[in-house]
């Protein structure tokens, strides 16, 4: 590659062809999460994904998203996953616990597995705010998550490809060394044997 002196910009294209997606959907506040799911599917399909490229898994609440997402990511079947949930602030501190543990769990799962997990868990004070973010006034966050899943899936493939290329080049230059070593160890016993044979004939 010829260097232009400018930093390389590596981005994933918004093309879902050939990518495999998993979607984990919380059933809690399904009135909202179903709309987010519809938005995510819309983004994937508009970008070229067929039904067979998408797997949908449902969990009881947002708190259960991380374990399901991690298990799915660990199968190696997906380029990226979308985590959909909606947590509404109530009177208790349960909201804070569910929000922070869900976010923490999803982040840990993507770092542990190396599979991008797009965080599409709405955390709102009111149902009205959630409705607005699920397609009414502020767009559909599920649609944005769908685009994020495509971009990250493509980006991961690009990074893996360039890493494999670099590893291949490195293996190519190192490969000469073990072969040479192997050749030396193969030749040596023959030379030693011939020397011994010559010496035996002289006697
Ligand atoms: N789960 C949600 O996804 N949203 C909520 O608003 C919510 N509230 O408010 O409690 C919620 N709770 C359930 C939680 O996610 C678990 O399913 C439950 O605690 C069992 O582990």
138-158 residue pLDDT tens: 899 999 999 999 999 999 999
What pLDDT is recorded for position 167?
A: 82
Atom of ligand 1 nearest to the CA of 60: 17
Q: Are 79 and 21 in contact (CB under 8 A)?
A: yes
The CATH code of the domain that includes 85 is: 3.40.50.960
**What local confidence, expressed as pLDDT, does residue 182 receive?**
39
Residue 184 has pLDDT above 50, yes or no: no
Asked if the structure places residue 5 within a domain, the reply is no
- Strand residues in 9-90 grouped as ranges (E): 21-26, 54-59, 80-88
* 2 found inside a domain: no
Tell me, what's the pLDDT at 5? 65
The pLDDT confidence band at residue 200, using thresholds 50, 70 and 90, is low
| pLDDT at residue 191 tops 90 | no
Q: Does the residue 198 lie in any domain?
A: no
Looking at 17, 31, 94, 180, which residue is catalytic? Answer: 94
Q: Is residue 169 included in any domain, yes or no?
A: no
Domain range spanning residue 125? 21-158
Query: What is residue 181's predicted lDDT score, i.e. its pLDDT?
Result: 40
pLDDT at residue 144 in the model: 97
Whether residue 88 has its Cβ less than 6 Å from ligand 1:
yes
How far is 100 from 109, CA to CA, in rounded Å? 14
Instruction: Compute the average pLDDT of residues 36-54.
Output: 97
More confident residue, 77 or 185: 77
Q: Is residue 182 part of a domain?
A: no
Residue nearest to atom 12 of ligand 1 (CA): 61
Domain count, the chain: 1
Sheet of 54-59: strand order equals 54-59, 21-26, 80-88, 117-124
Give residue-wise pLDDT tens across range 77-119: 999 999 999 999 986 789 999 999 999 999 999 999 999 999 9
What's the chain's average pLDDT? 86
* 94 classed as catalytic: yes
Tokens of residue 32, six digits: 């909202």
Dihedral, CA of residue 11, residue 17, residue 22 and residue 24, to nearest 10: 80
Residue 170's pLDDT band, with cuts at 50, 70 and 90, is confident
Local confidence band at 72 (pLDDT 50, 70, 90 cut-offs): very high
- Name the residue at shortest CA distance from atom 1 of ligand 1: 61
The atom number, within ligand 1, closest to the CA of 102 reads: 15
Report if residue 165 sits inside a domain. no
pTM of the full structure: 0.81
């Amino acid at each position: 590659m010829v260097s232009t002196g400018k930093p390389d910009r590596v981005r994933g294209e918004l093309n879902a062809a050939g990518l495999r997606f998993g979607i984990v959907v919380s059933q809690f506040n399904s009135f909202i999460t179903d709309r987010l799911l519809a938005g995510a599917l819309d983004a994937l399909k508009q970008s070229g994904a067929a039904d067979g490229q998408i797997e949908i898994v449902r969990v009881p609440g947002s708190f259960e998203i991380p374990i399901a997402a991690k298990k799915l990511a660990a199968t190696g079947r997906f380029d990226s996953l979308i985590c959909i949930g909606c947590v509404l602030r109530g009177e208790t501190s349960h909201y804070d616990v569910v929000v922070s543990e869900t976010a923490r769990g999803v982040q840990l799962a993507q770092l542990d597995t190396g599979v991008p997990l797009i965080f599409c868990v709405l955390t709102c004070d009111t149902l009205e705010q959630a409705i607005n973010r699920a397609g009414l006034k502020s767009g559909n966050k599920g649609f944005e998550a769908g685009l994020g899943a495509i971009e990250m899936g493509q980006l991961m493939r690009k990074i893996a490809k360039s890493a494999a290329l670099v590893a291949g080049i490195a293996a190519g230059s190192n490969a000469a060394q073990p072969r040479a070593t192997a050749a030396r160890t193969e030749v040596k016993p023959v030379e030693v044997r011939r020397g011994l044979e010559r010496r035996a004939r002289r006697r």
